[in-house]
Every structure is written in structure tokens, then in C-alpha cells.
Structure 1
Amino acid sequence: MKSKKRTTIYDIAEKLNLNPSSVSRALNNSSSVNDATKKLILKTAKELNYTRNTLASNLRKGHSKTIGVVVPRINQNFFSNVIAGIEDATYKQGYNLIICQSNELYDKEVQCVNTLINQHVDCIVISISVETIDHKHLQNIIDHGIQLIQFDRVADELETLKVTNDNEQSSFEAVSHMIKQGYKRVALLEGPQKLNIFRQRKNGYLRALEENGIPVIPALMIENAWTKELSANATRQLLSLPQPPDAIFASTSDFSALGVLEVATAMNVKVPEELGICGYSNEDFTEITSPSITTIDQFSFYMGKTVANLYFQEMENTDTMVVPKIISIKPKLITRSSTQKTI
């Protein structure tokens, strides 16, 4: 079925034998159009189901009042909460969101960015994919005069507005907590080290071992265990060691921690008595697993609001020489049953 053509001001003008500019002025409630003509135009517009093209109108004024958001995955609690926080702040300012997901693919991320540029958005907010190494597409945003705000996973070398977590300190606190609970061989499930957040979390892990007098054992650090399946495989490998770990810090996500818990349960390893588990992100399911999973809350909704408000603050900033702001949000360790070992 052929879709019905959208009514324009030219359709209204033709029906009433008026100049399109007169119709436009009337629809914008201009005092230059007399009340009788204005009333007739508004009545005709309603009859023809005319709706204002807000994007076109805003673009004529020099902005689209639209923000584009690119995230690795929409269905993760962290990213969906960030989006909700952005929307909460932008709605109050009369802005719209266009949301894209890269599915952790570099090529799709580039496609998302190009689409948003072509949509003439005022700002692009992005958390880069696990595959992203080249940042030319991010520089392209800047070159087009579009505000770029990076959050969570960021390209350090690009001087843009950034909203991040203190990943190193939160990881340090998580691993220190497990050591204080009596765990002596704490393993680390790492994310890809090309991403800044995973390098920072590894640094926090190493610092916690050092400051608590625990030796660093390379065999207990597994690279690229950043999905539930990869973490499950890494856990089987760790628990099969002659001297297996007595705790695992899944620094990549709570989904990784869930993979650890499932393998431990299948191998009849008692949690937390024989194996402590800590995840990252405070996904909803961590409260209802058995045992519940210790994790790190990143205050994702607040992060989203911070991102949006940072954009609006910069909109009001007339000093073009100001160094781009970097806002760091301190996460919170949420201790639950999976690390409550009886010493």
C-alpha cells in the first residue's frame, strides 16, 4: 500500500490560494497576518492533517535540537540506564535522542556516526566498541563542528568532553575487599587492553595485590575474558590449575561474573566458601542469583544525566579556549554473598 503524502505549507497555500510565506507566518503565529486569515489557515491545516516538520524548522534556526547516542549494546543495564539518564535531562530541554548500537563492531560504529552526522545532530555521545582502535570517525565528528562527548570507554588521545568512572580505584577497592575477606589467590578476568577502562581496572587489581602483600601470579590473569562465554571458559581453565584461585574478579562485567558462578556451580565449587566472585556494573540479576553477586555500581543513570548536562553547560560557554572537561564519577562497591567468606 502506497503511503500518503505528507501535507506541506504549499498544500495549504494552494487550497486557499494564498502565498506559502503567508501560511508559514500564520502557522508561526505572526502578528503580520490578520486574525481572520490566520484562523482560516489553522482550520485548513487541521483538516489536511498538517504537522510541523520540527527538524527542518530547527535546522533553519541553526540547530536540530537532537542528540545522537552510540553505545556498544542497548540491552545491557549499564548502557540502557545511561541512555535513560541522558533522555531525562534532554527531554526537559526540549531535545530529542537518536539511539544507535554498534554491537561491539567497529564498522557498524563508523556507520552509526556517519548516519548521525548526516542527520545534522547537534551532539554525538559515544562509548566506543571493543574493536575500535582507529578514531578517524570521531575526529570527523569534530571536523563537522558537532559537539562530541565520550563516556565510559573513551579514546584518551582525543581532547573532547568526557564522562568516565574511576575504574582503577573501584577495582582496587573490590580486590582489597576480597583479600580482607581471607582470599589469597585472586584471579583476574581481563577485558581487551586496548580499551582504557580495562587497562585501568587491571591497574587497580595489581595495585591491590601489591599494597596487600599478595604476589602477582601471571597464570591467574586471563586476557580477553569479556563475555559470559569467554569468562566461563577462563574459569574452567583457572579451576583446573594445580593451585586454582580462591577468588575471581570478573573486571569486565557482571555477565562475566555470572559465567564464573555457573561454572563453579557445575564443578561443585562452593561460593563463597571455596571461591569468591566479584563482578562489575551492578546489573539487576546480581541481586537474585544464588548466592547474590558482589559488584561495582557505576551510577549509570547519573552518568547519563551528567553527560547531557555537560552538553548544555558547554552550549552556554562562550570561551572557545577552555580545555575540554573530563568528569570522573566514583563508583561504589556493593558487597553481597558471593564474597562473604567466613575467615
Structure 2
Amino acid sequence: MRKKRTTIYDIAEKLNITASSVSRALNNSNYVNENTKKLILKTAAELNYKRNTIASNLRSGQSKTIGIVVPRINQNFFANVIAGIEDATYEKNYNLIICQSNEQEEKEVKCVNTLINQQVDCIVISVSADSHDHTHLKNVIEHGIQLIQFDRVVDELETLKVINDNEQASLEAVSHLIEQGYKRIALLEGPQNLDIFKQRKAGYLKALKKHKIPVVHDLIIENAWTKELGAEGTRKLLSMPKPPDAIFASTSDFSALGVLEVATAMGFKVPSELGICGYSNEAFTEITSPSITTIDQFSIYMGKTIANLYFQEMENKETEVIPKIISIKPKLIIRSSTSRKG
């Protein structure tokens, strides 16, 4: 049977004193003399008393807890963002509650409502691909909980945001492909209800325009944002009478991996016959054969930036949160899958 947790009332009963005296001693109050304080602390240790930090924090008006909602914990990008947040919050004795939506709006709503009920101080979220109704995020704000959006954000919600310059990163990636001599560049795009995928598509189109390459709509594959969908889109593209000579998997490196596997199976040589560029700098991109050109989003730095932004706002004496957007510039990492000019 589970052992009952020791409370201040158990200590008070053992010493035949009031619970308020025990509480004062445990909080190192000057209203309790030193001898009594030492006796109380000694008895607390003997009874294996553990301080209820949650209750104590709530009495102070803070839970010292940050809730994080991400689409998938097992993706390197989101795992690194969480690690960055943890690095920055650990020194300040904050706890993290981590939830994943699995790209489902219903689960995202449930996660957010759970965190509200847990009375967290802040909710950090990257919205799911299935997210369309954002009432649950407005509810966070109405409860007086700090809301910080990152990576995938809802533009119309005026909150703190930490994002990447997705359009510029895509522009640089596609320009690199063109500079390597690729002319028929296909795009694997993500759900266009998410701003990050709209921005990446905009960067792709801007690069084609800049280099005076006409847009071929048949080379743009919608919603190819998983490895399986990326592979499916690639089979379609490479089966065309005039297939592309490069594919920009703007959704993720997982899509790019799907491209590489299908291209290899169909006998296309990478990078001489087909260039491949992914997005996110997942760990596996360095060890595939050939290694995959990708875009590093500086995810650990993003996590630290999110946490530091929260602490800055905590120190801000203004009661009203002024919407603030911090944009981080990603970096194109050129590897073998697109290097055909040496």
C-alpha cells in the first residue's frame, strides 16, 4: 500500500505545536526561535517531509511551470527547441510540462486545456498542421497565461512569437540549386493553412522569378510533408515525360529522405541527374548517401530565445503584453545531394 505523505500537520502533532509554527519554521521565519526551528527541521527530516513546491508556488501567484505543445516530440527540430528552453529555465528552477499534438487539432486543444487547468505560467506552442480554429489559444490569453508561439504561428493572434525567416531561407536554397545548374526545380510543399509553408513556397517562387525561370505548376506537389507523402510525390514527379532535375522538399528532411529513397530505387543519380534539398537539418541528413543539403533553423538557440523572451516579459513592469516578434535567420547547409559543380 502506498505510504501517506507527511504534512506539516503530522509534524505539528508530533511536537504538540501549531501547524502555523511549523510552516513558519520551514519558511525560515524570524518569528520562530532558533531552538524550536532546529527541532522542527530535525523532526521534518525524521518524518521524511517533502515540501509541496506546487502549493507553495501557487500561494505566491506563480506555478514556476511552463507548458510546451509541439506537433511531434521525436523530430529533431522540436526536441532541440525543448532542450533549449530547458537549458534556459533550469537555472531559474522552472519546471516543464511537455505535450505533443501529433498534428491533430483535437489533441492540441486537449493539451492546451490541460495546461490551463494545471495553472502553468506560460504556454509555448507550435500549432499542428490540422489546426484551423484557434479559440483554445484565445482562451489561454483570457486566462491571463503568457502565450508564446514559435515556428508555426497564428498571425492574427497578437502574442509573443519566435520564428524563422522561412521565405529568405527558401530563396537561398532554390537560388543555390539554380547556381548549381538545375533548371526544372520541383517543390514539395506543406499544408498552406500554416504560415511557415506559405512563406517557404513564397521563397521558392521568388527565387524562380529572380533567376527568370518560369513557374511550372505541375512541378509543385501539395501537402507532401511526410516521408511517405514526399516519396509518393517524387514517384509522380520522376514519372513525368520531362521530370524535374531538382526537388526542394520545403516541408522537412523527412520528405527529402523519401525523395532520396525513391530516386535511388528509380535509378536517378544524385546529384548529377537529380538535386535534393531538405529543410530542418535533422541528424540523419549528414549520414545518408549522398548527404542531404538542408536548412539549419538553429533550434536550440530558438528554444533559449523563447525562454529568455518569457523571462524578459516577466521583468517588464507593464501589465499589458506588447506583441513582439523575434525572427531568427536560418542557414543553408550545402552537402553532396546538390553539389554538382564541386
Q: Give yes or no for contact 1:198–1:252 (8 Å, CA) kept in 2.
A: yes
Corresponding residue of 1:113: 112
Note if 1:89 corresponds to 2:88: yes
Letter paired with 1:237 = K
**One-letter amino acid matched to 1:261:** L
SS at match of 1:341: coil
Q: d(CA) in 2 for partners of 1:307 and 1:321? A: 19
The 3-state SS of whatever aligns with 1:70 is strand
- Identical residues among aligned pairs (%): 78
Any conservation in 2 of the 1:273–1:342 contact (CA below 8 Å)? no
Give runs of ≥4 in structure 1 deviating > 4 Å: none
AA aligned opposite 2:248: F
Indicate the residue corresponding to 1:30 in structure 2: 29
**Letter in structure 2 aligned against 1:166:** D
Unaligned stretches of 5+ residues in structure 2: none
* Distance in 2 (alpha carbons) for counterparts of 1:161 and 1:188: 31
**Residues 153-212 of structure 1: per-residue CA shift (max 9 Å, x gap):** 000000000000000000000000000100000000000000000000000000000110
Letter in 2 for 1:56: A
Question: Match of 1:138?
Answer: 137
SS at match of 1:187: strand
The C-alpha deviation readout for 1:209-258, integer Å capped at 9, x for no partner, is 01101110010000000000000000000000011000000000001100
> 1:298 aligns to what?
297
Displacement of 1:101? 0.7
Measure the CA separation in 2 of the matches of 1:6 and 1:322.
40
Structure 1 distance, partners of 2:3, 2:175, is 64
Corresponding residue for 1:14? 13
How much has 1:342 moved relative to structure 2? 3.5
- Which SS does the other structure have where 1:296 is aligned? strand
d(CA) in 1 for partners of 2:300, 2:106: 28
CA offset digits 1:83-123 (Å, max 9, x no partner) = 01101111122211111111111111111111111111100
Q: Which residue of 2 is the match for residue 313 of structure 1?
A: 312
What amino acid is the match of 2:53? T
Secondary structure, counterpart of 2:327 in structure 1:
strand
Separation of aligned partners in 2, 1:104 and 1:64: 28
Q: How far 1:321 sits from its partner (Å)?
A: 5.2
Residue 249 (structure 2) aligns with: 250
Q: Is the 8 A contact 1:12 1:44 kept in 2?
A: yes
Q: How does 1:62-211 map to 2 (within 5 A)?
A: 62-211=61-210
Quick one: which amino acid aligns to residue 189 of structure 2? E
For 1:177 and 1:87, the matched residues in 2 are separated by: 35
Secondary structure of the residue aligned to 2:130 is coil
Give the alignment's Cα RMSD to 1 decimal: 1.0
Q: Aligned partners of 2:80, 2:109: CA distance in 1, in Å?
A: 23
TM-score, with structure 1 as normaliser: 0.98
Deviations 1:256-310 (A, max 9, x none): 1000000011111100000000000001110010000000000000000000000
**For 1:204 and 1:323, how far apart are their aligned partners in 2?**
29
The reply to whether residue 281 of structure 1 matches residue 280 of structure 2 is yes
Letter in 2 for 1:7: T
Q: Secondary structure at the match of 2:98?
A: strand
Q: Compute the displacement of 1:3 (Å).
A: 1.7
Whichever residue aligns with residue 160 of structure 1, its letter is T
Distance 2:272 2:186 in 1: 16
Q: Please tell me the residue identity of whatever aligns with 2:191.
A: P
Q: What secondary structure, in the 3-state scheme, does the structure 1 residue paired with 2:236 have?
A: helix
One-letter amino acid of the structure 1 residue matched with residue 2 of structure 2: S
Give the alignment of 1:230-249 within 5 angstroms: 230-249=229-248
State the partner residue of 2:50.
Answer: 51
SS of the counterpart of 1:248? strand
**For the residues of structure 1 that align with 2:309 and 2:36, how far apart are their CA atoms?**
44
Aligned counterparts of 1:3 and 1:159: Cα–Cα separation in 2: 47
C-alpha deviation, 1:15, in angstroms: 1.5
* Structure 1: unaligned runs, 5 residues or longer: none
